[in-house]
Chains A and B, each alone.
Chain A
């Protein structure tokens, strides 16, 4: 039974895993994760893929909002930029290994453009500016028909690596989940570096940070760029997974969903992004199973499914914010500590 942390080197103090057991557990988890495609039905694979994409997008948003304190309602817009960039490049024959990072970079550039207002705006006002950015991008996706196909949308070819085609959800799993794991690892590492610490300093007290020599505007833009890169990659994977994208895939509700994910999961924590994204992707599925199981006895329940889903989402957010403002990550941390210190968990 451990009762504290005792690191003898700087490296182990800064490490991601504080015990060897944690590292092994993660390895076991990843192996179990890769067993999923061989056991799940195609629908649940679709859900898993969507959840993994949501994790990437939520992590991106968490970098911007949770770690750097810049509120952004523009996530759906950057998702759209990444997705349409991939659709366009993919239809022109650009292979996956180039199209995906390229979409991320294009989204990062867009992010920097919309991050410029952050020089002068904070908090509420920045949220409004990003909201306006969302509507402007939405307008562009609907009207720039040459690139986006307008309201009818555009189809996306399957990704290919060295001739192997990832044509269905089972194969896409082996593409999406490794990318997800890689981005999570990168994010976790980011906050051990100078750049990451600059982000956190800006969130905590930006005036002091400027005084201390952190170039606030430059790091804010960088934060927008990194965050949008993540969201752009998520958008790219979404395009490959959904096969058909249209402006309807990116309503404001998506941005609000992502914000909900990081709040429920826990702001400023990579684990929080994972938990929040999984929770909010699986919630409608569980709801659907329950309503269809009960619809034999209550046939009218089908009609209530959509309002129930919207209501549950809203209610979950409200309840979490009122009772558990630090999110699932904090809850997990407390549970873990309880077990770790058992029987002296008080």
Chain B
């Protein structure tokens, strides 16, 4: 009873103290679900980005209040959190996470006019005629897969035949997001897609899938799950003595991968839209300073950098909307659509949104793990083809 009263009092006091000059932003993160291995550093990056922004002038003087929720990668929880944030907390925009829930909420987001910036880079969210309020800060999964396939074509040295590729993906919206685009692009550039293997959401053992792939004789494999899953596939492949070259999507590939998969991760490539932590680019300085000041003992990775980039993008949009006097859902959307080559000092490529194209960037960097470290080996720029919008 006492606890309830003191808790309620604390809530009231806290509420009244932060009253007026505050911008409410919702954050839906996965801290405990099947993608929490990458969800946690991302969430930390967003939180830290918000603290840094508030410490450095906020949004034209106003502070950001981040409503932080863990939905455990369960779509019903995300829907409930969304209803709460929009209905009760009255947030102005939401920093979301997973493909399944973002795609599931797109009709609602449209009706409620709430800009939804998701950590999901699904190509289905890039067409403003279908999803005007959805944004993200990276090349789309589809563009990234196309870039990786391009790398495969360049890496394949045998001129007598096409390289053979297999896709591994999870049985959910996130896993399936880029696959159709990948299938079509393989045909376009002359790569043979010989096998598609599905892995369940949480799995321990990929041996039968790998054996199937071995039968089809794939030379390269693209893995579209998260770091934990990638490491299981890599280790099982090593145990089976396979010499397929593997590549991973941006949520399976970071500094954490060599730590978990150890020697099985050698030579694996991956798409890296946000640079690894500590990379020598001008924008990294503020992250490193913040890290030294607030938690010098933690380690960070590319997912953490990703979270920061998100805050830098939407806080800039909030600033522009506020200057224009339009601090509302529509105002923030319009502000985002004024971004032309918005640069964050090399943390990721410059960002552009227009009212007809929500693809923020199209250049993808390919990194490879050499000696346990991430090394950049290539970069590809996918053209902004209209038929690829929304795919």
Asked if A and B touch directly (CB within 8 angstroms), the answer is: yes
A residues contacting B by CB (< 8 A) are 41-43, 46, 142, 151-153, 155, 169, 242-244, 246, 248-249, 289-290, 293-297, 302-303, 305-307
Dominant SS among interface residues on chain A: helix
Among A242, A296, A306, which residue has its beta carbon within 8 angstroms of that of B10?
A296
A303-B172 in contact given A41-B87, A249-B75 (Cβ < 8 Å): no
A248-B100 in contact given A42-B87, A293-B11 (Cβ < 8 Å): yes
B residues contacting A by CB (< 8 A) are 3-4, 7-8, 10-11, 14, 31-32, 40, 68-70, 72, 74-76, 79-80, 83-84, 87-88, 100, 103-105, 107-108, 171-173, 176
Decide: B70 and A303 in contact? CB cutoff 8 A: yes
Q: CA separation between A239 and B40, bound complex, in Å?
A: 31
Most buried by B among A41, A46, A142, A244: A244
Cβ of B31: which chain A residues have Cβ within 8 Å of it?
302-303, 306
- The contact sample of 30 A-B pairs, CB cut-off 8 A, is A42-B87, A43-B84, A43-B87, A43-B88, A46-B80, A46-B87, A152-B103, A152-B104, A152-B173, A153-B104, A155-B107, A169-B83, A244-B79, A244-B105, A246-B104, A248-B74, A248-B76, A249-B76, A289-B7, A290-B7, A293-B7, A293-B8, A293-B11, A296-B14, A302-B68, A302-B69, A303-B31, A303-B70, A306-B31, A306-B70
Decide: B32 and A307 in contact? CB cutoff 8 A: yes
Cβ of A46: which chain B residues have Cβ within 8 Å of it?
80, 83-84, 87
Q: B10: nearest residue on chain A (CB-CB)?
A: A293
Cβ of A249: which chain B residues have Cβ within 8 Å of it?
75-76
Cβ of A41: which chain B residues have Cβ within 8 Å of it?
87-88
Among B69, B83, B100, B173, which residue has its beta carbon within 8 angstroms of that of A43?
B83
Q: CA separation between A296 and B67, bound complex, in Å?
A: 11
Q: CA separation between A142 and B72, bound complex, in Å?
A: 20
Q: A310: nearest residue on chain B (CB-CB)?
A: B32
Q: CA separation between A248 and B100, bound complex, in Å?
A: 10
Cβ of A153: which chain B residues have Cβ within 8 Å of it?
75, 100, 104
Q: B12: nearest residue on chain A (CB-CB)?
A: A293
Q: How far is the CB of B323 from chain A (nearest CB, A)?
A: 30
Among A142, A155, A293, A306, which residue has its beta carbon within 8 angstroms of that of B32?
A306
Decide: B83 and A42 in contact? CB cutoff 8 A: yes
Cβ of A295: which chain B residues have Cβ within 8 Å of it?
68
Decide: B32 and A246 in contact? CB cutoff 8 A: no
Q: How far is the CB of B79 from chain A (nearest CB, A)?
A: 7
Most buried by B among A153, A293, A294: A293
Q: CA separation between A169 and B83, bound complex, in Å?
A: 10
**The 3 nearest A-B residue pairs measured at CB:** A42-B87, A306-B32, A293-B7
Cβ of B87: which chain A residues have Cβ within 8 Å of it?
41-43, 46
Q: CA separation between A46 and B70, bound complex, in Å?
A: 19
Q: B80: nearest residue on chain A (CB-CB)?
A: A46
Q: How far is the CB of A301 from chain B (nearest CB, A)?
A: 10
Q: B13: nearest residue on chain A (CB-CB)?
A: A296
Decide: A243 and B172 in contact? CB cutoff 8 A: no
Among A151, A293, A307, which residue has its beta carbon within 8 angstroms of that of B100?
A151
Cβ of B84: which chain A residues have Cβ within 8 Å of it?
43, 46
Cβ of B4: which chain A residues have Cβ within 8 Å of it?
290
Q: CA separation between A310 and B107, bound complex, in Å?
A: 31
Q: CA separation between A243 and B110, bound complex, in Å?
A: 14
Cβ of A248: which chain B residues have Cβ within 8 Å of it?
74-76, 100
Q: B18: nearest residue on chain A (CB-CB)?
A: A296
Decide: B171 and A151 in contact? CB cutoff 8 A: yes
Cβ of A303: which chain B residues have Cβ within 8 Å of it?
31-32, 40, 70
Q: How far is the CB of A26 from chain B (nearest CB, A)?
A: 29
Q: CA separation between A290 and B7, bound complex, in Å?
A: 7
Q: B71: nearest residue on chain A (CB-CB)?
A: A306
Among B70, B88, B172, which residue has its beta carbon within 8 angstroms of that of A151?
B172
A246-B83 in contact given A293-B8, A293-B11 (Cβ < 8 Å): no
Q: A44: nearest residue on chain B (CB-CB)?
A: B88
Q: How far is the CB of A6 from chain B (nearest CB, A)?
A: 40
Q: A244-B104, A246-B100, A246-B104 are known contacts; what are 14 more A-B pairs with Cβ within 8 Å?
A: A41-B87, A43-B84, A46-B80, A151-B172, A151-B176, A242-B76, A243-B108, A249-B76, A290-B3, A290-B7, A302-B68, A302-B69, A303-B40, A306-B31
Cβ of B3: which chain A residues have Cβ within 8 Å of it?
290
Q: CA separation between A293 and B14, bound complex, in Å?
A: 9
Q: How far is the CB of A214 from chain B (nearest CB, A)?
A: 41
Q: A249: nearest residue on chain B (CB-CB)?
A: B76
Cβ of B103: which chain A residues have Cβ within 8 Å of it?
152
Decide: B75 and A246 in contact? CB cutoff 8 A: yes
Q: How far is the CB of B18 from chain A (nearest CB, A)?
A: 10
Among A42, A244, A293, A306, which residue has its beta carbon within 8 angstroms of that of B75?
A244
Cβ of B14: which chain A residues have Cβ within 8 Å of it?
296
Q: CA separation between A297 and B3, bound complex, in Å?
A: 14
Most buried by B among A151, A153, A155, A295: A151
Q: CA separation between A296 and B105, bound complex, in Å?
A: 29
Q: CA separation between A297 and B13, bound complex, in Å?
A: 13
Q: CA separation between A248 and B80, bound complex, in Å?
A: 14
Q: How far is the CB of A245 from chain B (nearest CB, A)?
A: 9
